[in-house]
Amino acid sequence: MARLLDRLEELTKRAMAKGADQAEAFGQTSQSREVWLEANKIKTVKSTPSKGIGLRVIKKNAMGFASANSLQEADLDELCDKALALASVNLKDKFLIIPEPEPLTALKGLYDPRLEELPLKETIAMAGRLLKTARGFDRRVTVDSGGVFVSTSENAVYNSNGLSASERGTDISALIMGMARDKGEVSPFDIQFDGSPRLSQIKIEPLAKSFAKNVIGSLGARPAHSFSGTVLFSPYAVAETLLGTIISSINSNSVQKGMSKLAGKTGTRIASSKLTLEDDALLKGGLATSSFDREGLPRRKLAIIKKGKLTTYLYNSYTANREKRKSTGHASGSYRSLPGIGPTNLIITPGQATKSELIRDIKEGILVTRFSGNANAITGDFSGTVKGGFYIKNGRICYPITNTMIAGNVYDAIMNIRGISNTLTKVFSNRLPYVSIAGVSVTSG
């Protein structure tokens, strides 16, 4: 598929010919086939090709960006003109930069030919199995929506410094969401997801079963009472409460623009020594695994928090240039926007205890399967409702709870980690454990 890269090269050269000092083109093409479930039935099949180019130009220290979902020759001029027109009115910024190329190592395992050739009938059959397994587990289970989605894609970058990179990949994912209904009672919603670059790694039945188990298990819930205690967060709840705030505050752009509480904290203790957090863009089988980032720079494995100490922020080439350092390869985004900054596959290093041992260790607390709420990335405050929660007393799970909220502060919470489970669960692209945290406020009743 040299064509995409050829178009990007042509676009970059045209932007330079029209007066850009530096230019970068990022292109994406993809073909996806999606089988959707709705209201306990297979609803529809969707087949969508997509493609697009985003052009970033720098002229006289000002930047402009334009994108279009077209690779047509005729549209390239319009892209150049629009990006250059925006650069001509934009504020100047001497740190703007288009990166120099760096050597890339091609990764294996991103592309599975079996997925590209997968007959639609098989994808439909997988969606059918997802539905049947969940419904067959217990007739009170109801599947609101979900599906099985297969896609093949190519990403490519070309820039005026001679950087040129392209990569093909495949992925398959399965999603199931819904609730349990028993007479008049409706349980909280549960969502389960599995995804992988390879067909052989997707697990339909276990996914459907853990969904069904969760929604049935949360029937018959009642309120607990209000107290401050230890909360055991499931891997999904860890993502929903803690991860967003951490991701936002380790973004070097937030740090540089005075919007991160972790500014000036590298090299210092910000969490319990039990916590080690890595971003592994090269993770085998990771959904966000790739050999280069949105700017075409090499991806890597990077420790962010090491035994409680903050080791680094995440950089793209612009924020790195402001500090006269190198990008960490975390430029993110699609062809539709400028390179931002974001993590890839986040992994919390497993701890020593099993999940049951973590529960046994709790005098009074709750297990939070899912968290639905807000986390304020700047203050670190989080507050929200517990979904699929259980009351824990003297080391034992007592009963499912409803009408319960938890509140706390992420920066305090990661200091107060009591235990981390010794197994990890796939949560979208991340690998996360159960984490128990002391001193969280529980409001219920």
Partner 1 sequence: MISYFSEILSQIPADYAELRYHDRRVNALAIRKGEPETAQSNHLSGVGIRLLDAGRWGFSSTAGRERADVLRAAQEAATVARAMSRSKKTLAKTKLARGEFCPPFKDHLENHSIEEKLEIVKKAEAKARRFKNITSAASAYVEYFDKKVILTSDGAAALITDIKPEFRIMVVAKDGTNMVRAFEAIGATGGWDDLWRYGKWEELVERAVKRAERLLKAEHPKGEKMTVILNPEIVGLIAHEAIGHTVEADFVLSGAITKGKIGQRVASELVTLVDSGPSTHIPGAGGTLLVDDEGVLTESTVVIKNGILKSYLHNRESAAEFGVKPTGNARAFEYSDEPIIRMRNTYIEPGKMSLNELLESTDRALLLEGALGGQADANAEFMFGVQEATLIEKGKKKKTFSGVSISGNAFDVLKSVDAISKEFRWALGSGYCGKFQRARVDAGGGYVRCQAIIGGRHG
Q: Closest approach of Cβ 268 to partner 1, in Å?
A: 14
90 contacts partner 1 (rule: CB under 8 A): yes
Q: Which long-range contacts (CB under 8 A, 24 or more apart) does 138-142 make?
A: 138/180, 138/212, 138/216, 140/180, 140/181, 140/182, 140/216, 140/219, 141/178, 141/180, 141/211, 141/212, 141/215, 141/216, 142/40, 142/178, 142/179, 142/180, 142/181
Residues in region 243-262 near partner 1 by CB under 8 A: 253, 257-259, 261
User: By three-state DSSP, how is residue 144 classified?
Assistant: strand
Residues in region 423-442 near partner 1 by CB under 8 A: 441-442
269 contacts partner 1 (rule: CB under 8 A): no
User: By three-state DSSP, how is residue 286 classified?
Assistant: coil
Specify the residue, 17 or 85, whose C-beta has the smaller distance to partner 1.
Answer: 85
Residues in region 20-49 near partner 1 by CB under 8 A: 33, 38-49
Residues in region 193-222 near partner 1 by CB under 8 A: none
Question: Which of 352, 347, 364 shows the shortest CA–CA distance to 228?
Answer: 364
Cβ proximity of 115 and 108 under 8 Å: no
Candidate residues 23, 66, 204, 414; the one interacting with partner 1 per rule CB under 8 A = 66
Q: What are phi and psi of 179, to 5 degrees?
A: -150, 180
Candidate residues 16, 303, 338, 438; the one interacting with partner 1 per rule CB under 8 A = 338
Specify the residue, 317 or 421, whose C-beta has the smaller distance to partner 1.
Answer: 317
Question: In the block, which residue shows the tokens 């200091």?
Answer: 415
Token pair for residue 302? 């990077």
Candidate residues 13, 18, 82, 129; the one interacting with partner 1 per rule CB under 8 A = 82
Binding mask 356-395 for partner 1 (x = CB under 8 A): ----------------xxx-x-xx-x-xxx-x--------
166 contacts partner 1 (rule: CB under 8 A): no
Q: Closest approach of Cβ 152 to partner 1, in Å?
A: 15
Q: Closest approach of Cβ 191 to partner 1, in Å?
A: 11
337 contacts partner 1 (rule: CB under 8 A): yes
DSSP 279: E
Q: Closest approach of Cβ 196 to partner 1, in Å?
A: 20
336 contacts partner 1 (rule: CB under 8 A): yes
Length of the chain: 445
H or E element in which residue 209 lies: helix 204-217
